[in-house]
Amino acid sequence: MARRFVQPLAVAALFVVLTVAATWPQARYLGSQATPHQDVFFNMWRLQWFAHALTASPTELFDANIFHPHPLTLAYSDAMPVEGVVAAPMVWAGLPPMLVHNVMLLGAICGSGLAMFALARYLTGSRGAAVLAGIVFAFAPYRFEHMMHMELQWALWSPLAFLALHRTLDTGKWQYGIATGACVALQMLSSIYYGIFLATLLALGALLFIVRDRSVPLPRAALPLAAGAVLALTVSAVYAIPYQRVHVRVGDRPENEVTQFSARPSSYLTAPPGNWLYGRTAGPRNGPERRLFPGTIPVFLAILGLLLRPPSWRPLGYLMLLAAAFEMSLGVGGYSYSFLHEHVQVYRGLRASARLGLFVLMFLAVLAAYGYAALAEGRRALIRAVLLGAFALGLLTEYRTSAILVPYPNAAPPIYRLLARLPRGVVAEFPIPGPSTLPGNEAKYAYMSIFHWFPLVNGYSGNYPPSYLARLQRLQDFPDSRSIAQLRQDKVNYVLVHKAASSETDFRELRERLTTNGLVELGAFDDAEGPAALYRVQ
């Protein structure tokens, strides 16, 4: 019995080591540092909010404390319920927010590699091919392009969905059909983008493979898959309810954003600027979201696999899926995505079709696994080991990307400790950005609210309530009479003013104006970056 677990544990240990090595020195600063980006604040706030809401008021999970007085504020971006459930025990145990964040981030990368290993192992029968496929899927430049996006690292359900699909077509067993739908649902609950893309491409894959790549009669395969589809649709429909209500307020994504974040063919020749070998390919034409270079080795192995063996339907099917994902990733510059964007409502809420690059990477990893399996077939164990080591080292070298890390606060600075001791009330923090200068410090303000959980006028998300943008406009000349009237209209109890980049003289004059405009100063303390003052609104 114990031998059954030796290989899975060895593979898991291997990918843990590979994850630490590929993302180094992130593991060295696991509890204190991460990529410098406002989304890191947002990730930590979401994980902490989820754990807080589960214990405080589960029925009001989507009514998060940002963007007061708006409801359903968690639905202005990806709520990440799967990540929230996984992280909640760590939060309840009192682990530092930064540690929870980094464990969830690196764990998702490692899990993606393991999931890809499982799919490639099943398809090729080769452990070496599966290791290489896992490396491609887990550590390609795409991953480093999105190190600040927690939900975009949680892609492990996508390879598992295709694995369950193949098992259903090979056995006709109901548990695999249900597992296919469950993986789609879990992917949707982990990342809405990936959930929508997976459902689309998995449906195409099911049509391709069910025709010529099944080992059981059509009804035996179709009925379990239909049950899985019902499960996925039901979960997704329930999850979509708050998002549909929010969509009524914010509308579709602007066309210019969809265009801006559509991939181009040249995006697949562009790596992030920190990549050791190919960073020079990054340029102004292919900015963020458009750096999708998969590496030369997986392309070489994929071509090799298609040439060395007589073409069979499975690798051809994955080649067609790769072509479909590539064309879809071109967004408004292609045909299929433009059609879906025009006729399928859920696609009108998405702006970054370039994120389909992950699925290009996934299908390429499968083809690369076939390539290595064909190359290694019939060779002695020593030769296979040398080939595997050479390709693995080559991939890790191609993918090596320099990491820039900065510290994030794990504990409440003095000014927030003071606020947390006061009676519960609505908080507004300044300086506040204008609608055209978002996000400013809004993501940091949202994160700092985990130390008091009071309702917050400020907020950060993938979308913004229209009335919040109008409110920002009315608060621009704070503390004039118009902005004070807005605070009173919003029933704000506390105003927290940070010195930020202002001079000592300007900050002193601002504090004097606040007291003359009817606000009562409660104290001035450090906010981890400098002085800050807390006021009560009369």
Q: Write down the domain spans for the chain.
A: 3-30+96-399, 414-537
Question: Residue 457 contacts by C-beta under 8 Å, 6 or more apart in sequence?
Answer: 67, 68, 426, 427, 428, 429, 471, 487, 490, 492
Buried residues in 326-364 as b, exposed as e (16+ CB within 10 A): bbbbbbbebebbbebbeeeebbbbbbbbbbbbbbbbbbb
Structure tokens at 55: 């214990």
Q: Are strands 492-498 and 519-526 parallel, antiparallel or unpaired?
A: unpaired
Instruction: Indicate the residue type of 298.
Output: P
pLDDT (0 to 100) of residue 311: 78
State in Å, rounded, how far the first CA of the chain is from the last one.
Answer: 70
Name the β-bridge partners of 532.
498, 525
Q: What is the CA radius of gyration of the chain?
A: 25
10-residue mean pLDDT series, the chain (538 residues): 79 96 96 96 98 94 96 96 98 98 98 98 96 98 96 98 97 97 98 98 96 91 97 97 94 90 94 92 81 96 90 93 98 94 92 96 98 92 94 97 94 95 96 92 97 97 93 93 94 94 89 90 91 93
Q: Please report the pLDDT score of residue 517 as a whole number.
A: 85
Q: Is residue 375 within 8 Å of 11, Cβ to Cβ?
A: no
pLDDT number for residue 131: 98
Q: What is the DSSP string of 345-390?
A: GGGGG---GGGGHHHHHHHHHHHHHHHHHHHHTT--HHHHHHHHHH
Name the burial class of residue 500, with classes exposed (0-12), middle (13-18) and buried (19+) by CB atoms within 10 angstroms of its CB.
Answer: middle
Sign of CA pseudo-dihedral 175, 176, 178, 182? positive
Cis upstream peptide for 25 (omega within 30°): yes
pLDDT of residue 6: 85
What pLDDT was estimated at residue 2?
Answer: 62
Structure tokens at 419: 């606020």
519-526 sheet: strands from edge to edge = 426-430, 492-498, 531-537, 519-526
* Count of all residues that appear for the chain in the document: 538
533, β-bridge pairs:
497, 524
Residue with tokens 């914010």: 250
Strand pairing of 33-34 and 406-407? antiparallel
- The CATH number for 414-537, chosen from 3.40.50, 2.60.120, 3.30.70, 1.20.120, is 3.40.50
Give the pLDDT of residue 403.
87
Strands 492-498 vs 531-537: parallel, antiparallel or unpaired: antiparallel
CA-closest candidate to residue 97, choices 55, 151, 43, 153: 43
Q: Residue 495 is which amino acid?
A: V
pLDDT of residue 1: 56
Predicted local distance difference test score (pLDDT) of residue 54: 96
Whether omega before 414 lies within 30 degrees of 0, making that bond cis, reads no
Q: Are 374 and 303 in contact (CB under 8 A)?
A: no
pLDDT at 502: 86
